């Protein structure tokens, strides 16, 4: 697709969309399920204040709650996927609001369960598990609850927190509507005067365009659109940060960072070690900027030159070709793995890969226990899109294996391990392509993709993690907060990362924090960097044919939340309580920079 042709959602070919009919065959079927869920939720209410009666009563309550929750999750998923691909579709937006309301109602209703479990006492719960084989399924869940019992509040407080989740979630929904629909980015213009409309779905293609004028005008107009709305965006971001702090205070955590890490049993040192190692290795990035500037022959290297193509020959990679190459790259995982992946990306229609107006920014993989995974992305027929597809398929296969292996109670996994599985796929596919696609132009494109990927996960995300920590701490300490404070601090951090190698536009770089919905997910972004570190360590083991490495990795994919994230990773072969995997990942990054320097010297 040409960069200046952005389809309306109704014009998108069906083969480029995901199969939402696999969740509900029609909107009418969804509405019927939504209308019936209230009566289902009501069936949970009589169990309140009865769980201590005996083990069978407890088991019955948990099973009824599971049945209702699984239906609610499908209702919620269908509505939110529909709104993600076209934020301008008012009917889809309305369904998403309805689903959030019902979800909050369910969580408010079941808020009595964990306080009552704690009141029963864990010695009694352990005894019940020994004598009631049905209840034995929940043994690990009870053990995890025992660890966090001091952070669980009374039914009344838990009920209020659950009901408050709906109005608190409107912050991120408002952010999505603002940035994906209401904000208009204008056009990019090439040297000949041709214009290219800027959308969230094609901005990545424009910022890597061979025409510097296109890159410059796309970057400036994109950032300026956010700057024009900086006060509204700052208000939304402050509300998101305050929500994190509010929940942390209610649950008795010392701060929002502890509140984020505690549920998954992750020491705070993991976060701080990452930031320390990142800052230590900033010279690697400074070297990369210098190499780019020199090769491109620029007097002044701008941020919009970071993804400038290093050759005028840009490989075109169709969606089907990308699927084939990803499948080949993942073959060391076995026929079952690649078969599931290939079918998901093609005939099973897991992936919504169209570029269309109103589609939200970025990419994600989503799904619930009783559905297939669903991937949203905008595929732009290049190596970067191939990499994104590999990344999201990593998430999806992780979800698939977890749900095929674990019971519902353990059928999710922590965000901390999610980014390992996704980056693992990218590492494996990149290694395969570097070995097999020997054309010099393609090799250079692969190196550019690798650096682009690391730029996002090992430069932007750690920088934003520092910013996120600073902003939380400012509010926690009662300091002043506004758009200027946010922009100035973000600019300072990026200026440090760019050093003297990148010409600096304080306002346009400083508004970067507003361009990531991840900033509304309490301390999510640092996990991209820990994830890519763990992923490369595990991929290295498999590529070296280390005995048992494949089986350990597949076991990791299947663990769900039956074990804590760090324990699952350690069993798979990587210890992220140590700084060593992050150091090794930076060493790998350094080798890619050296490889780029050598390739360019030989051209």
- Cα-Cα-Cα-Cα dihedral sign, residues 189, 451, 582, 406: positive
Which two structure tokens, joined as six digits, stand for 453? Answer: 């990927």
CA dihedral 44, 49, 53, 57 (to 10 degrees): 10
Q: What is the DSSP letter of 489?
A: H
Looking up tokens 């019992």 gives 149
Largest CA distance in the chain: 78
Looking up tokens 């629909």 gives 181
The CA distance from 204 to 218, in Å, is 10
Which candidate, 170, 144, 122, 164, places its Cα nearest to that of 250?
164
Total residues belonging to the chain: 603
Q: Catalytic site residue 73?
A: no
For 4, counting Cβ atoms within 10 Å of its Cβ (0-12 exposed, 13-18 middle, 19+ buried), the class is: middle
Backbone angles phi, psi at 366, to 5 degrees: -140, 170
Angle at which helix 549-558 crosses helix 415-436, to 10 degrees, equals 140
Please state whether 177 falls in left (phi above 0), alpha (psi between -120 and 50) or beta.
Answer: alpha
The CA distance from 119 to 267, in Å, is 28
Q: Where are the beta strands (DSSP E) in 340-388?
A: 351-352, 364-366, 374-376
The CA distance from 262 to 254, in Å, is 11
Q: Where are the beta strands (DSSP E) in 152-197?
A: 187-189, 195-197
CA distances from residue 571 to 87, 252, 315, 562 in whole angstroms, order as listed: 41, 32, 39, 13
Which listed residue (71, 199, 303, 392) is catalytic? 392
Active-site amino acid positions: 392
């Amino acid at each position: 697709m040409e960069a200046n042709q952005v389809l309306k959602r109704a014009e998108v070919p069906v083969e480029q969309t995901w199969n939402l009919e696999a969740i509900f065959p029609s909107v009418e079927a969804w509405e019927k399920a939504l209308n019936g869920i209230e009566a289902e939720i009501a069936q949970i209410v009589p169990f309140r204040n009865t769980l201590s009666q005996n083990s069978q009563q407890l088991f019955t309550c948990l099973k009824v709650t599971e049945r209702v929750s699984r239906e609610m999750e499908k209702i919620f998923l269908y509505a939110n996927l529909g709104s993600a691909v076209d934020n301008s579709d008012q009917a889809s937006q309305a369904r998403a609001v309805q689903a959030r309301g019902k979800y909050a109602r369910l969580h408010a209703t079941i808020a009595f369960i964990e306080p009552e479990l704690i009141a029963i006492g864990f010695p009694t719960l352990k005894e019940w598990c020994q004598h009631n084989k049905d209840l034995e399924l929940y043994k690990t869940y009870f053990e995890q609850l025992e660890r966090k019992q001091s952070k669980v509040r009374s039914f009344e407080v838990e009920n209020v927190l659950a009901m408050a989740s709906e109005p608190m979630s409107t912050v991120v929904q408002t952010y999505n509507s603002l940035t994906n629909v209401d904000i208009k980015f204008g056009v990019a213009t090439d040297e000949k005067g041709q214009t290219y409309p800027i959308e969230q779905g094609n901005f990545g293609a424009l910022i890597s365009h061979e025409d510097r004028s296109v890159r410059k005008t796309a970057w400036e107009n994109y950032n300026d659109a956010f700057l024009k709305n900086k006060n509204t965006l700052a208000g939304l971001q402050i509300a998101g940060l305050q929500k994190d702090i509010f929940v942390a205070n209610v649950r008795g955590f010392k701060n929002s960072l502890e509140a984020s890490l505690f549920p998954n049993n992750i020491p705070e040192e993991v976060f701080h070690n990452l930031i320390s190692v990142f800052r230590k290795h900033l010279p690697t990035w400074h070297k990369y900027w210098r190499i780019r500037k020199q090769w491109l022959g620029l007097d002044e290297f701008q941020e919009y030159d970071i993804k400038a193509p290093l050759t005028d020959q840009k490989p075109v990679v169709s969606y089907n070709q990308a699927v084939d190459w990803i499948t080949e790259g993942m073959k060391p995982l076995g026929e079952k793995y690649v078969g599931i992946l290939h079918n998901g990306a093609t005939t099973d229609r897991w992936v919504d890969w169209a570029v269309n107006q109103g589609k939200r920014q970025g990419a994600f993989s989503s799904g619930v226990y009783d559905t297939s995974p669903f991937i949203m992305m905008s595929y732009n027929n290049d190596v970067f899109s191939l990499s994104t597809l590999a990344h999201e398929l990593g998430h999806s296969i992780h979800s698939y294996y977890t749900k095929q292996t674990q019971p519902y109670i353990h059928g999710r996994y922590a965000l901390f391990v999610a980014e390992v599985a996704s980056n693992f796929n990218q590492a494996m596919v990149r290694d395969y392509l570097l070995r097999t696609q020997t054309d010099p132009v393609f090799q250079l494109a692969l190196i550019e993709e690798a650096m682009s990927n690391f730029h996002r996960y090992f430069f932007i995300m750690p920088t934003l993690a520092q910013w996120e920590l600073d902003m939380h701490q400012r509010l926690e300490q009662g300091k002043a907060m506004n758009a200027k404070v946010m922009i100035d601090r973000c600019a300072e951090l990026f200026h440090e990362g760019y050093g003297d190698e990148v010409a600096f536009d304080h306002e346009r770089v400083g508004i970067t924090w507003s361009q990531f919905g991840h900033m509304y997910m309490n301390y999510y972004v640092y996990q991209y960097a820990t994830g890519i570190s763990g992923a490369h360590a595990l991929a290295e083991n498999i590529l070296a044919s280390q005995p048992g490495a494949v089986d350990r990795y597949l076991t990791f994919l299947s663990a769900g939340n039956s074990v804590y994230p760090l324990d699952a990773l350690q069993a798979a072969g990587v210890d992220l309580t140590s700084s060593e995997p992050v150091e090794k990942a930076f060493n790998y990054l350094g080798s890619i920079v050296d490889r780029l320097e050598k390739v360019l010297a030989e051209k």
